[in-house]
Structure 1
Amino acid sequence: MPNLIQSRRFVCLLTALLVATGAQAAKVDETAIRASEQDGSEWLSHGRTYAEQRFSPLKQIDAGNVGKLGLAWYLDLENNRGLEATPLVSDGVLYASLSWSRVMAVDLRSGKRLWQFDPQVDRGRSRYACCDAVNRGVALWNGKVYVGALDGRLIALDAKTGRELWSEQTTDPAKPYSITGAPRVVKGKVIIGNGGAEYGVRGFFSAYDAETGKMAWRFYTVPGDPAQPYEHPELAEAAKTWKGDQYWKLGGGGTVWDSMAYDPELDLLYIGTGNGSPWNREIRSPGGGDNLYLSSILALRPDSGKLLWHYQTTPGETWDFTATQQITLATLELDGKPRKVLMQAPKNGFFYVLDRATGELLSAEKFGKVTWAEKVDLATGRPVEVPGSRYEKEQVVMWPSPFGAHNWHSMSFNPQTGLMYIPYQEIPGVYRNEGATFKKIDGFNTGTGFSDTHEIPRDAVSGALLAWDPVRQREAWRVPHSFYWNGGTLSTAGNLVFQGTADGQLHAYSADKGQRLWSFAAQTGIVAAPISFSLDGEQYVAVMAGWGGVAPLIGGDAALAPGVRNLSRLLVFKLGGQSSLPPLPQATTAAVQRTPQAVQASAADLDAGKLLYGNYCSMCHGVGAVSGGLIPDLRHTDQWRRDNFQQIVRDGILRPLGMPSFKNSLSAAEVEQIKAYVMSREYEDHLKAQQAARP
């Protein structure tokens, strides 16, 4: 009897110790992730499950009572760039990434931060992150947290303490690679890709041992130097679809910066690949060719990286039509029989349904405005392109644009309604063939006239929450939004769809009909997707709120329309929540006290400055020198920055703030041309304001 009593005391003491030290009660592994398909209490993987459906089976919050949803608590975050992460939840702790690849763990009962990790990314690397210093999330596995850093490192952290366990440099640090996507862990291997195609890199993704960090295998998505042996046999076949001898010198592209999914029963890992480098096929592959494996869906064995099948959504990609958008797995009733399918709504505007065992194309239809192709031929699986859409001879205006009809913003699939909920956007694109004038630079390399810095008119852009029926391949309903770059979606068994918007709202809609049932003013634009979990018998909805990403960086009149700033917060809601946000703080940016003057520069210098600005500056400071609010607007910057323009741009004196040095890319004379162009834009605005003030 004493031994039994002592044993019970030991168990109680051990339990108390585990709770006190924050140890994980449940091991996150394949068994746990697969079990979460039915148990929605936690959110263990990027898309909640390996199928990436972003559907929660929880239904305590439903269409009947969602009107009682209130803010349970919030956490202010030291973050002034975009928040795109999907948080993960395990054993009462939330794990999320912030900008600059930082990671935090938050106790969900107290709302307090348990730890925060900063990988100390060199802020100067931001020049090679096309779309803000963002990060879309972390992965959990066996007591570890994994994050891909902006500078190409894959880092494993102790889930209890945030202590770094190992770090591997997955890319060549001398080349302009970046990582913004969330890793996935499959069969004890951490899968990670990278970005940087616009800057001239060769795409690949890799698998690392989750315990040791040792690389298990690597798959290159495009062939390299043909004078060297191919790294794996699939590249020999791919090389037959490329022309000329320049593509491998220009990079090739095909970077894997987001989409991944996994089918444990078929043991297939699905990967979406990116655009060409440069975008314009005529430059990188003169003479044509499909250019495998650009803009493709790849199915591989996760143990070896061996390719089983592929499907290319955009053969001969030439528009930045990536296939890196979310891949979702589901079982659909097709022709009276259940079919295991893979679904994707990539940038090019077609919604694809494929047999996920074989890669057979089952259907493909336009889910928005598409003018580059008439349809997808189901017999060949290829798009029927509209003549002239490749802009070989004439500039074209077409839909979609490089923004995509759907970008990285997460969609969700509800197996109860059978609908996919897509953050849709409608934005025109302008393409011009640079052809023989193209010259590779240490900046954006598209070959499409991107440096023309076309401003996007406010009335030319819009967004919507689109409910899509993948069986009938048609729209079920839509909710129009006045702006583009709205947040990802979450669907639940409570007949609900949640989505944040660029203009600072979090909405809940009925999943079957699209009726808006609840809204919350978040004080900042939301681009990330919400999640749902349960804790101590209550269901919660949480979202990382903070305006950012490519839309506010590209700028222009359209990007200013929402009128929101970045107020980075973690927002957590429950039924009957009584918390509230503090009053919106006043803007702290002081008005520039000067009267703009006409610029004393030649027309040739101003034209050169405009071109240089488009190539090197527009992706951060905005097209037409109109910033979207996150990065300083160079037209109206303070006099100190104006006086120290050379030192900032060439010497990098603001590198710690994220402004890199361009000393190796721009001469002093070229910097003066950029400065003159920016000052001319300030003067133009001054004249317009004077004219508008006249009676």
Structure 2
Amino acid sequence: MNKPKKNWLLASTVAAIIAAPTVTRANSELEMLQKNPGNWASWGGDYSGTRYSKLSQINTSNVKDLQPAWSFSTGVLRGHEGGPLVINGVVYIHTPFPNTVYAIDQKTKAIIWEFTPSQDADATVPVMCCDTVNRGLAYGDGKIFLQQADTVLTALDAKTGKRVWSVQNGDPRLGMTSTNAPLVVKDKVITGIGGGEFGVRGFLAAYNIRTGQLEWKGYSMGPDKDTLLKPGKSTTWQDGKVTPVGPDSGTSTWKGDQWKIGGGTTWGWYSYDPKLNLVYYGSGNPSTWNPLQRPGDNKWSMSLWARNADTGEVKWVYQVTPHDEWDYDSINESVLVDQEINGKMRKTMVHFDRNGFGYTLDRESGELLVAEKFDKAVNWASHVDMKSGRPIVVPEFSPEFHGEDVTTVGICPAVLGVKNQQPVSYSPETGLFYISGNHICMNYEPFEVSYTAGQPYVGSTVSMMPPGVDVLTGKKDDSTNLGQFTAFDAKTGKIAWSNKEQFSVWSGSVATAGGVVFYGTLEGYLKAVDAKTGKELYKFKTPSGIIGNVNTWEYEGKQYVGVLSGIGGWAGIGIAAGLDDGTSATNSEGLGAVGAYRSLSSYTKLGGAFTVFALPN
């Protein structure tokens, strides 16, 4: 087992620096790997983040015959988010803290190599929001890239598991942690930072894949030299048109220098368009959760970004939820697809936000094309004004309108969002996006909080409950489901179908050419549904609740489906961290989640496992 020595000065050093006479273009190799459906070479299956596979051996006719083929225990408890990479026949899986990585031989099922980094648990785990999860690995230039919880980005030799280099991306002593899957683009590996609930100022950073040297860093807020916004050149959506951004937009909508602890962290997913050479991602909630302490739009938290992959310069940015009052992080993935909208083919970027609106933008210009609710229970805003791009807030559900130390009742969605980090999938055959979602509302009470480095900077008490409102119609009903799996047409902004689930669907889905979409449930079921109708075709109970992303690949002519199970994450934090104290169903432990999901412990327990499925021989 390979273990790097702890060193807080790794930001300026690397374990090995290899002279490179030419620039490595790792994305060329990745594009080739992604074109072969036998691989699953990045978190989204491809640079566009579609999570679509061209494999069709498993289809709507035979998926009912699916069987477990083999399984592997990770040896780690807590929540298992993310999913496996499969590169040229080798399966790479990861765990939550301590972030062990395994390379597994598919033929023998033996461990080829194993790597566990040395991390200071006492410094890192206490400042990890919402469980000790990790969302996955990246591959490029013959290396596996691991973003450790303590913010260290590590490059491992894909064949041997030996550490090539490590670099410090942040400092847990200031509340910084990392849970995101990196993305390899050209000669860079791109990563972000977490810690918005600790007043961390978010950024996206690019490191050289050969040496670990920092190439560029773009902050979510601050002066233009920090955000890498170019006044007059970088644009945003305003007044019904694409408009140049003015100078220092990242400070002018903040009170004083509060932007320095402004949040806007970047712990989600990153996509890339090789032709436009743009990286796409979202920034998270502003700090604190108490909106009365931070007047203004709080730019550029809660925003969608397009940055030049070479320099980090911002092409365009669009703020989804100005002056967020509800913790509606915008870190969710941005999926890149070409679609015909109003009779015109568009290069679009589709983003399903925690705020409950599905956004379709022109990914080249940043023009807003569609913004519609993908759960009709959403009530905090009536609609998005397409000219300004701003949501129209309903005062009844505005914590700021009611004031500090006053509970605003019945806000939909809850802080978990209609969809959290669990990535959607897209089928070019149906033209639909498949959304693993939450169906849950909240009561929200803001209170004054002061900032101390490395300490929680939340300033709100939250409790959660079912909406009692139908997903499709918005009409009141007596359902108590906390989750749904929804098919959505991003060209029109309309829901095609939606299946109710007892608990939130916290697993990322995968769509296939066989007409099947796979996802997992918090109780632990792997499910397969018909991509056109949503009809359930198969389910199997895995050892623990599924919050991991389902992936599919091929080995020796056979299609496999694999998923990490292991209950945890925000929705499962009560079980994962032992927070169930037996109080009322709406208690606010785990940032509001424990009470709402109290009954989950009757269906599943802790335990990390990787389960692989296939059709019988």
Q: Same fold (TM over 0.5)?
A: yes
Relative contact order, higher structure (CA 8 A, sep 6+): 2
Task: Pick one of 309, 318, 337 that aligns with 1:311.
Answer: 318
Matches of 2:203 and 2:268, distance apart in 1: 12
Please give the residue correspondences for 1:558-597 in structure 2 after superposition, counting only pairs within 5 Å.
Answer: 558-561=597-600, 563-576=603-616
Matches of 2:615 and 2:441, distance apart in 1: 41
Deviation at 1:114, TM superposition (A): 1.2
Deviation at 1:488, TM superposition (A): 1.4
Pairing 1:254–2:264 present: yes
Pairing 1:365–2:385 present: no
- CA deviation string 1:358-409 (max 9, x = no partner): 0000010001121110000111111111124331224212011111100011
SS of equivalent to 1:168: strand
Aligned residue for 1:396? 408
Task: Pick one of 483, 503, 511 that aligns with 1:483.
Answer: 503
Pairing 1:542–2:562 present: yes
Matches of 1:503 and 1:53, distance apart in 2: 26
Pairing 1:84–2:81 present: yes
Please give the residue correspondences for 1:57-206 in structure 2 after superposition, counting only pairs within 5 Å.
Answer: 57-100=54-97, 101-124=99-122, 125-206=124-205
Matches of 1:511 and 1:575, distance apart in 2: 19
Alignment-mate amino acid for residue 206 of structure 2? A
Deviation at 1:455, TM superposition (A): 6.4
Matches of 2:96 and 2:109, distance apart in 1: 20
Matches of 2:193 and 2:213, distance apart in 1: 18
Aligned residue for 2:572? 552
Alignment-mate amino acid for residue 118 of structure 2? Q
Matches of 1:234 and 1:479, distance apart in 2: 44
Alignment-mate amino acid for residue 560 of structure 2? Y
Alignment-mate amino acid for residue 384 of structure 2? V
Task: Pick one of 263, 266, 279 that aligns with 1:269.
Answer: 279
Contact map agreement 2:254 2:297 (CA 8 A) in 1: no
Aligned residue for 1:650? none
Matches of 1:498 and 1:312, distance apart in 2: 32
Matches of 2:176 and 2:316, distance apart in 1: 27
Structure 2's unaligned 5+ residue stretches are 1-23, 232-246, 468-478, 574-589
Aligned residue for 1:429? 442
Pairing 1:32–2:29 present: yes
Matches of 1:521 and 1:133, distance apart in 2: 24
SS of equivalent to 2:321: coil
Matches of 1:455 and 1:491, distance apart in 2: 31
Contact map agreement 2:552 2:561 (CA 8 A) in 1: yes
Contact map agreement 1:552 1:559 (CA 8 A) in 2: no
SS of equivalent to 1:30: helix
Contact map agreement 2:272 2:278 (CA 8 A) in 1: yes
Aligned residue for 2:43? 46
Counterparts in 2 of 1:230 and 1:111: CA distance versus 1, 3 Å: closer
Alignment-mate amino acid for residue 449 of structure 2? F
Matches of 2:131 and 2:496, distance apart in 1: 34
Deviation at 1:279, TM superposition (A): 1.9
Matches of 1:448 and 1:339, distance apart in 2: 41
Contact map agreement 2:325 2:399 (CA 8 A) in 1: no
SS of equivalent to 1:353: strand
Pairing 1:413–2:411 present: no
Aligned residue for 2:579? none
Deviation at 1:252, TM superposition (A): 0.4
Counterparts in 2 of 1:557 and 1:349: CA distance versus 1, 3 Å: closer
Counterparts in 2 of 1:316 and 1:218: CA distance versus 1, 3 Å: same
Structure 1's unaligned 5+ residue stretches are 1-26, 578-695
Contact map agreement 1:42 1:89 (CA 8 A) in 2: yes
Please give the residue correspondences for 1:517-532 in structure 2 after superposition, counting only pairs within 5 Å.
Answer: 517-532=537-552
Deviation at 1:110, TM superposition (A): 1.6
SS of equivalent to 1:410: coil
Matches of 2:596 and 2:279, distance apart in 1: 41
Matches of 2:481 and 2:408, distance apart in 1: 17
What is the number of residues matched between the two proteins?
539
Counterparts in 2 of 1:519 and 1:230: CA distance versus 1, 3 Å: closer
Aligned residue for 2:460? 448
SS of equivalent to 2:397: coil
TM-score where L is the length of structure 2 = 0.84
Please give the residue correspondences for 1:599-618 in structure 2 after superposition, counting only pairs within 5 Å.
Answer: none
Matches of 1:234 and 1:151, distance apart in 2: 32
Deviation at 1:565, TM superposition (A): 0.7
Matches of 2:393 and 2:250, distance apart in 1: 23
Aligned residue for 2:483? 463
Higher helix share: 1
Task: Pick one of 327, 330, 338 that aligns with 2:345.
Answer: 338
Aligned residue for 2:332? 325
- Aligned-CA RMSD value: 2.0
Deviation at 1:521, TM superposition (A): 1.3
Task: Pick one of 518, 542, 550 that aligns with 1:498.
Answer: 518
Contact map agreement 1:192 1:207 (CA 8 A) in 2: yes
**Which structure has the larger Rg over C-alpha atoms?**
1
Matches of 1:209 and 1:258, distance apart in 2: 21
SS of equivalent to 2:125: helix
Alignment-mate amino acid for residue 140 of structure 2? W
Matches of 1:311 and 1:424, distance apart in 2: 23
Percentage identity across paired residues of the two chains: 36
Pairing 1:212–2:194 present: no
- CA deviation string 1:152-205 (max 9, x = no partner): 100001111111111100113431100001000111101010100101111111
Contact map agreement 1:28 1:143 (CA 8 A) in 2: no
Contact map agreement 2:142 2:157 (CA 8 A) in 1: yes
- CA deviation string 1:218-263 (max 9, x = no partner): 0011117x9xx757455952245423225145x1000000121000
Aligned residue for 2:359? 352
Aligned residue for 1:643? none
SS of equivalent to 1:572: strand
Matches of 2:315 and 2:398, distance apart in 1: 31
Matches of 2:25 and 2:498, distance apart in 1: 37
Matches of 2:320 and 2:598, distance apart in 1: 29
Which shifted more, 340-349 or 115-124?
Answer: 115-124
TM-score where L is the length of structure 1 = 0.75
